[in-house]
């Protein structure tokens, strides 16, 4: 049977479709269907911030939107002509600047406007400034005109109508804007930040910003391949998303209309084409070469299952695909494409698929229709089987396999089962066996995929329609005016109050991927003050914000796994007894809670600059300590102790600043030279003391602070050289120290631990020096030299703070 795809836009329906601007079903929300001459709509608190995703390329694409207002202004002149100003939200993120010809009120290019991003557009103040004019009736204008907002991370539009003469009310009509370049995203195609019409770009953006999927769990190669496929086959997406849904639902609903499907490969999420493709994204219309051929030798006996698709689901039908012919700087026209298998379904049945939300190409619509028909008619069955591990163990979903086996019945000639399949599911069991589920891939006598041929050969009629606009034009601005008005905006100054409305800022689209488990910064208590934080745990965040308890300090409790909120109204977060400065490789000591019958919970949070706090540790009953990583440099490690004795939990905070020692230090006093690098803010005090009778003229340095020792590739070193003949070195300060080795003529440097064990660090001889690698925290130690040979008249020792030395 020859597959011939017929696409048509029946003339019988032309008149109807040309004037058919019906509002679509509510859940579809096609922007074309909205009434042009309707009252201006207003946003409500809690509405989703709309996403306009579009890119006009050539004569297709872009989208006409009807943005909702958030602020308004009404005033009348001496002749009672009303001028209305509206502040509107165009889209999440930044969009291309609008041209004069692209803005309408009702169906007319009128008024003036200004567009901006990440702030409030226009300079006018909202309000009703209508006054009674003598001899005229008072115009009825809205009284609640809103207040100025921050509009962080979104594109906004300020529209000012012309002065509408007395007696007319066109000032209250809906504003429309034709957007050529929608929300900017980093395109997979060229890694450029700009508008896009690739469904793969949209899904990738949503995975990162909406679902907060870590990059490691995104199948980027699959997304790039899907993007290549979309561009190679003209499957574009020009849409406006203003109704709430969720990402899995969006992918499940829209992906098939881009001939894609969501995929999970190795746990990573991505998109994959539904038909065989080549590396350059074009449809593979050549002979299919299977990646593997299974037969009796590889299939485990008794595991084959074949399910044939019901006849009722394979009947030929007419796919009626609805799409949107998007005219430039004008309203779109709803169009239809009917796809049927040649010689079948002359009178239906019809199956309608509405792609008008995002499809602006007849070719796109035709190809989707061809796929729907061919897939349904030609695919006859699915197969499942298991195989022992072998060379096929690397097969992945989407690859083509061949399954061929004989059915040998006694007294009958063998029946051969020989088909190509497309893998839909591959399961690798712990025992090693692999389980495959695959869908029949119908091919012709040349081995070519029938479905791929149908899609590749599908073509539109090429018929385009005009806007069918008639009557005297009401445009004041020219339809050829491509100028972009000067950007004007209002800077919002909330003064020193960071949380002026007692709200919590929940999202910033420029923030990048946000880690789960966000920290709530409740501020200084109450509704105002403090730093607007991120929302971690909803209950904890709200209660902490309102009561101000959790935000008693400068930071709140990590949002996830939060303890019960029964300590509202408490004293807030107090300072713990620990904290201080620690260097990379240094250790934050463990904490053992007292045995007082209370429950102690410990949380550790890493705070780096303006990045969202990152909770990374939670434990009940004790804190195991932490070895500071070099990547923590410049950050704070905050340890929260939550003490719960049955009443209101008490929270305390220890803050550790991770700093790098820097600077240099050298001292050549006496016979021992110590050199190293000095910490900023550290200090050494040299004192002379006598330790005991054995050690004479011991010179020590003392200093407090925390060491910057490191074991992460940058050893903590200090160098001691001496011109004296020394017998040993000694450290006599707990908890860490050096112990005299007792060997004549040499000095052994030991690191002595609090439990009495020790580690030999180095041995130095006369006139020698030692580089000592050390990891110490919150300690000072001295090194003294004992001269046993008698050639030394005096000994010098040094006690110095290792925090003064570069790790």
Partner 1 sequence: MPLAQSQYLRLFDAAGTTYARWQSYYIDTAVSWQGASWQFQQFAADGLTDGTADDGDSITIQAPATNVIIEAFQNALAAGWLAELLIYQFDPLINNSTPQGGQTLIGGYVGQAVAAKATMTSFALVLGSALAPVGAQVPPRKLTTLLMGQGCRL
Helix (H, G, I), strand (E, B) or coil at 39: strand
Binding to partner 1, residues 466-505 (CB under 8 A): 500-501, 503, 505
Residues in CB range of 269: below 8 A, 6 or more apart:
207, 213, 217, 218, 219, 262, 263
Residue of the chain from 214, 297, 704, 742 that contacts partner 1 (CB under 8 A): 214
766-771 long-range CB contacts below 8 Å, 24 or more apart? 766/722, 766/724, 766/725, 766/726, 767/721, 767/722, 767/723, 767/725, 768/721, 768/722, 769/719, 769/720, 769/721, 769/722, 770/719, 770/720, 771/715, 771/717, 771/718, 771/719
Rg (CA), the chain: 37
Token output for 691: 């330790």
Draw the binding track, 600-639, toward partner 1 (x: CB under 8 A; -: no contact). Answer: --------------xxxxxx----x----x-x--------
- CA–CA gap between residue 268 and residue 274 (Å, rounded): 18
Nearest to 561 by CA among 522, 520, 533, 595: 520
C-beta closer to partner 1: residue 245 or 479: 245
Region binding partner 1 by CB under 8 A among candidate stretches 304-312, 320-328, 390-398, 791-799? 390-398
Using the rule CB under 8 A, is 263 a contact of partner 1? yes
Please report, as residue ranges, which positions from 514 to 533 form the binding site for partner 1 (by CB under 8 A).
515-517
Q: Report if residue 284 touches partner 1, rule: CB under 8 A.
A: no
**3, 13, 18, 217: which one binds partner 1 (CB under 8 A):** 217
Q: Does 247 bind partner 1 (CB under 8 A)?
A: yes
Among 553, 566, 570, residue whose Cα is nearest residue 605: 553
> Judged by CB under 8 A, which stretch of 508-516, 547-555, 563-571, 582-590 contacts partner 1?
508-516
Could you say which residues in the range 89-128 bind partner 1, by CB under 8 A?
A: 89, 92, 126
Q: Which two tokens stand for residue 191?
A: 């890694």
> Min. distance of Cβ 444 from partner 1 in angstroms?
27
Tokens 């001295």 appear where?
Answer: 782
CB neighbours of 787 closer than 8 A, spacing ≥ 6? 724, 725, 726, 727, 795
Question: Rule CB under 8 A: is residue 26 a binding residue for partner 1?
Answer: no
Two tokens at 709? Answer: 């020792």
Q: Does 546 bind partner 1 (CB under 8 A)?
A: no
Q: Residue 87 or residue 724: which is nearer to partner 1 going by CB?
A: 87
Choice from 55, 101, 269, 353 touching partner 1 (CB under 8 A) = 269
Q: Which of 29, 33, 149, 683 binds partner 1 (CB under 8 A)?
A: 149
Check residue 265 for interaction with partner 1 (CB under 8 A): yes
Residue closer to partner 1, measured from CB, 435 or 660: 435
Calculate the CA 673 to chain-centre distance: 54
Q: Does residue 799 interact with partner 1 by CB under 8 A? A: no
- Give the nearest distance from C-beta 620 to partner 1 in angstroms: 10
Minimum distance from residue 219 beta carbon to partner 1 (Å): 9
CB of 154 to partner 1, least distance (A): 8
Give the separation between CA 638 and CA 653, rounded to whole angstroms. Answer: 7
- Dist. CA 115–CA 157, nearest whole Å: 4
Query: Measuring CA to CA, which residue among 370, 427, 356, 369 is closest to residue 395?
Result: 427
Q: How far is CA 51 from the centre of its chain?
A: 16
Between 420 and 449, how does the x/- string for binding to partner 1 read (CB under 8 A)?
Answer: ----xxxxxxx-x----x------------
Minimum CB separation of residue 245 from partner 1 in Å reads 5
Q: Using CB under 8 A, pick the residue from 251, 451, 720, 748 that binds partner 1.
A: 251
Rule CB under 8 A: is residue 244 a binding residue for partner 1? yes
Q: Which of residues 285-324 bind partner 1 (CB under 8 A)?
A: none
The interface with partner 1 within residues 28-57 (CB under 8 A) comprises 39-51
Task: Give the binding-site size for partner 1 (rule: CB under 8 A).
Answer: 101
Strands 292-294 and 400-407, bridge-based pairing: parallel
> Using the rule CB under 8 A, is 129 a contact of partner 1?
no
* Bond from prior residue into 349 cis (ω within 30 degrees of 0): yes
Structure letter (DSSP) for residue 538: H
Min separation Cβ 615 and partner 1, Å = 7
Please tell me whether residue 723 binds partner 1 under the rule CB under 8 A. no
Query: Judged by CB under 8 A, does residue 150 bind partner 1?
Result: yes
């Amino acid at each position: 049977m020859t597959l011939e795809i017929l696409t048509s836009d029946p003339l019988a329906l032309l008149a109807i479709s040309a004037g058919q601007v019906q509002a679509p079903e509510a859940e579809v929300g096609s922007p074309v269907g909205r009434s042009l001459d309707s009252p201006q709509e207003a946003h409500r608190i809690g509405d989703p911030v709309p996403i306009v995703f579009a890119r006009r390329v050539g004569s297709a694409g872009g989208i006409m939107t009807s943005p909702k207002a958030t602020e308004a202004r009404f005033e009348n002149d001496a002749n009672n002509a009303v001028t209305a100003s509206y502040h509107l939200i165009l889209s999440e993120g930044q969009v291309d600047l609008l041209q004069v010809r692209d803005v309408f009120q009702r169906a007319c290019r009128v008024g003036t406007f200004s567009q901006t991003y990440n702030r409030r557009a226009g300079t006018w103040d909202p309000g009703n400034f209508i006054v009674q004019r003598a001899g005229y009736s008072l115009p009825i204008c809205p009284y609640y005109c809103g207040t100025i907002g921050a509009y962080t991370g979104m594109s906004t539009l300020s529209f000012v109508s012309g002065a509408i003469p007395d007696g007319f009310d066109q000032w209250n009509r809906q504003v429309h804007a034709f957007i050529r370049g929608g929300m900017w995203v980093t395109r997979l195609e060229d890694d450029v930040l700009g508008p896009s019409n690739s469904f793969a770009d949209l899904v990738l953006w949503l995975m990162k910003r909406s679902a907060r999927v870590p990059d490691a769990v995104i199948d980027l190669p699959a997304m790039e391949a899907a993007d290549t496929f979309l561009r190679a086959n003209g499957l574009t997406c020009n849409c406006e998303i203003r109704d709430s849904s969720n990402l899995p639902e969006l992918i499940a609903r829209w992906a098939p209309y881009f001939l894609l499907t969501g995929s999970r490969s190795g746990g990573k999420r991505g998109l994959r084409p539904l038909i065989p493709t080549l590396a350059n994204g074009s449809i593979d219309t050549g002979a299919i070469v299977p990646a593997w051929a299974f037969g009796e030798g590889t299939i485990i006996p008794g595991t084959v299952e074949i399910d044939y698709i019901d006849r009722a689901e394979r009947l030929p039908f007419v796919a009626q695909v609805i799409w949107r012919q998007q005219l430039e700087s004008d309203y779109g026209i709803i169009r239809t494409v009917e796809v049927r298998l040649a010689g079948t379904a002359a009178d239906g049945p019809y199956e309608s698929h509405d792609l008008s939300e995002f499809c602006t190409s007849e070719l796109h619509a035709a190809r989707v229709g061809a796929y729907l028909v061919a897939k349904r008619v030609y695919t006859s069955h699915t197969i499942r089987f298991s195989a022992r591990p072998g060379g096929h163990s690397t097969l992945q979903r989407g690859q083509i396999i061949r399954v061929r086996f004989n059915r040998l019945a006694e007294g009958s000639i063998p029946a051969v089962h020989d088909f190509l399949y497309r893998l839909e599911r591959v399961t690798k069991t712990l025992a090693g066996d692999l389980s495959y589920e695959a869908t029949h891939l119908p091919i012709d006598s040349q081995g070519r995929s029938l479905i791929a041929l149908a899609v590749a050969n599908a073509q539109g009629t090429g018929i385009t329609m005009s806007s069918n606009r008639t009557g005297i034009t009401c445009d004041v601005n020219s339809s050829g005016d491509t100028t972009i008005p000067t950007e004007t905006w209002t800077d919002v100054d909330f003064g020193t109050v960071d949380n002026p409305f007692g709200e919590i800022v929940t999202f910033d689209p420029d923030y990048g991927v946000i880690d789960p488990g966000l920290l709530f910064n409740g501020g200084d208590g109450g509704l105002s003050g403090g730093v607007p934080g991120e929302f971690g745990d909803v209950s904890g965040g709200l209660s902490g914000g309102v009561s101000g308890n959790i935000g008693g300090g400068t930071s709140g409790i990590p949002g996830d796994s939060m303890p019960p909120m029964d300590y509202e109204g408490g004293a807030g977060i107090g300072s713990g007894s620990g904290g201080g400065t620690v260097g990379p490789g240094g250790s934050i000591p463990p904490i053992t809670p007292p045995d007082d019958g209370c429950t102690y919970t410990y949380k550790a949070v890493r705070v780096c600059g303006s990045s969202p706090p990152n909770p990374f540790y939670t434990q009940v009953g004790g804190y195991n300590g932490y070895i500071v990583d070099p990547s923590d440099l410049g950050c704070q490690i905050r340890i929260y102790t939550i003490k719960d004795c049955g009443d209101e939990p008490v929270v305390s905070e220890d803050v550790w600043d991770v700093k790098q020692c820097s600077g240099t230090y050298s001292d050549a006093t006496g016979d021992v030279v110590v050199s190293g690098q000095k910490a900023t803010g550290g200090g050494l005090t040299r004192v002379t003391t006598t330790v005991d009778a054995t050690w004479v003229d011991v010179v020590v340095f003392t200093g407090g602070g925390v060491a910057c020792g490191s074991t992460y590739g940058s050893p903590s070193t200090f160098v001691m050289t001496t011109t004296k003949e020394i017998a040993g070195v000694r450290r006599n300060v707990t908890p860490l120290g050096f112990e005299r080795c007792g060997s004549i003529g040499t000095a052994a440097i030991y690191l002595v631990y609090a439990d009495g064990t020790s580690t030999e660090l180095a041995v130095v001889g006369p006139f020698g020096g030692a580089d000592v690698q050390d990891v110490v925290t919150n300690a000072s130690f001295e090194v003294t030299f004992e001269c046993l040979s008698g050639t030394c008249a005096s000994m010098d020792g040094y006690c110095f703070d290792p925090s003064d030395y570069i790790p």
